[in-house]
Structure 1
Amino acid sequence: MKRLSRSRWGFTIIELLVVLAAIGLLLSVAAPRYIQHLDHARDVALRHDLQALRLAIDQFHADQGRYPKALDELVVQHYLRALPIDPITGRADSWVLIQAQARTDVASGLQAGTGIRDVRSGAPGRGSDGTAYAQW
């Protein structure tokens, strides 16, 4: 029976360095693409959340005849299940609220149209398309 010598049982330093270099090369190509996909996914999620919030505000206005005073009112009135979290900031309280212009009804003298008519992201920075998150 033939026995292997002790020196042939493991890998040499050169072999390990070649394997580590190959893994490093693959990671240097894959990691930036992975980060780019994560950023794109956050952008898509932000656009979707903004669309859902705006739709809920529009439905609330159509049903109630007024805009909601706060975003929590959309949840209480069951227009949303929960207030979405801004995927860029990771917080639900970073939404920038756009108030409706107050109008005075000439016949009754009452002010109408106050409340939240639009919402934007409070995230700093720019999206993958180059526009600021605050403009979305």
Structure 2
Amino acid sequence: MTGRKVSAVTGVTAYAGRPAQRRALTFVELMICVSVISIIAVSAMALSETGSRLAREFELKSVLRIVRTAIDKYYDKSREASPALMDNLHYPKNLDELVEKKYLRKLPVDPFTGLSDFRIISSTDEPDAIKTNGENLYDIKSSSDYTALDESKVNQW
């Protein structure tokens, strides 16, 4: 009966032997816990990154919608004021003009580049033109080459 002791007070049998096995089991349990926590942490980071990307995509869509609405309002008001002008003369010259005339509160910022460096599209540009003739502001697109979560390019929105 090596390693077995019975307490005279409680009557409980305690095993004094095998401390190395007990420590090894505790170490294995610790490693399993660390592994599980690591997996959870990596998953949380991946979800956080996806959430951040979705937020930037949503913000860009919102900025594009706001600017396009401002361009439409500018066009409508200009057309009402002087209907005899040619169509392309009713559009603003640039984003600054929309801010100056209070159609926008401030210059919009592209959430992917952090700058107000949108690609300007003129009403007289070809649909697939890379460079604009700069005649007026018909539309804007992101200048970023970022690929969205749905595999589309944000500069094509």
| TM-score category (smaller protein) | 0.7 to 0.9
Whether 1:36 and 2:33 are equivalent positions in the alignment is no
Match of 1:107 in 2: none
- Kindly provide the CA deviation profile for residues 55-107 of structure 1, in whole angstroms up to 9, marking residues without a partner as x: 00110111123111110110100001011110111111x200001129xxxxx
Does 1:91 pair with 2:91?
no
Query: Contact 2:123–2:137 (CA<8 Å) still a contact in 1?
Result: yes
Q: Which residue of 1 aligns with 2:23?
A: none
RMSD: 2.0
Paired amino acid for 2:142: S
Extract unaligned runs of 5+ from structure 1.
1-11, 103-113
* Aligned partner letter, 1:36: T
Q: Aligned equivalents of 2:98 and 2:27: distance in 1?
A: 63
* Mapping for residues 14-29 of structure 1, pairs under 5 Å: 20-29=34-43
CA distance in 2, matches of 1:13, 1:71: 64
Q: Which has the larger radius of gyration?
A: 2
Q: What is the deviation of 1:21?
A: 3.5
Q: Which residue of 2 aligns with 1:120?
A: 141
**Superposition map of 1:37-52 within 5 A:** 37-52=51-66
- Could you tell me how far apart the structure 2 residues matched to 1:17 and 1:72 are? 60
**Residue 87 of structure 1: SS of its match in structure 2?**
coil
The structure, 1 or 2, with the larger RCO (C-alpha pairs under 8 Å, 6+ apart) is 1
- 2:73 is matched with which residue: 59, 63, 66? 59
Aligned equivalents of 2:30 and 2:109: distance in 1? Answer: 45
1:135 has 2:152 as partner? no
Q: 2:131 aligns to what?
A: none
Q: Secondary structure of the residue that 1:116 maps to in structure 2? A: coil
**How many equivalent residue pairs?**
113
5+ residue gaps, structure 2, are 1-25, 80-89, 126-134
Q: Kindly indicate whether the alpha-carbon contact (under 8 Å) linking 2:118 and 2:140 is maintained by their aligned counterparts in 1.
A: yes
Contact 2:145/2:155 (8 A) holds in 1: yes
Contact 2:112 2:146 in 1 (8 A): no
Shift in Å at residue 14 of structure 1? 7.2
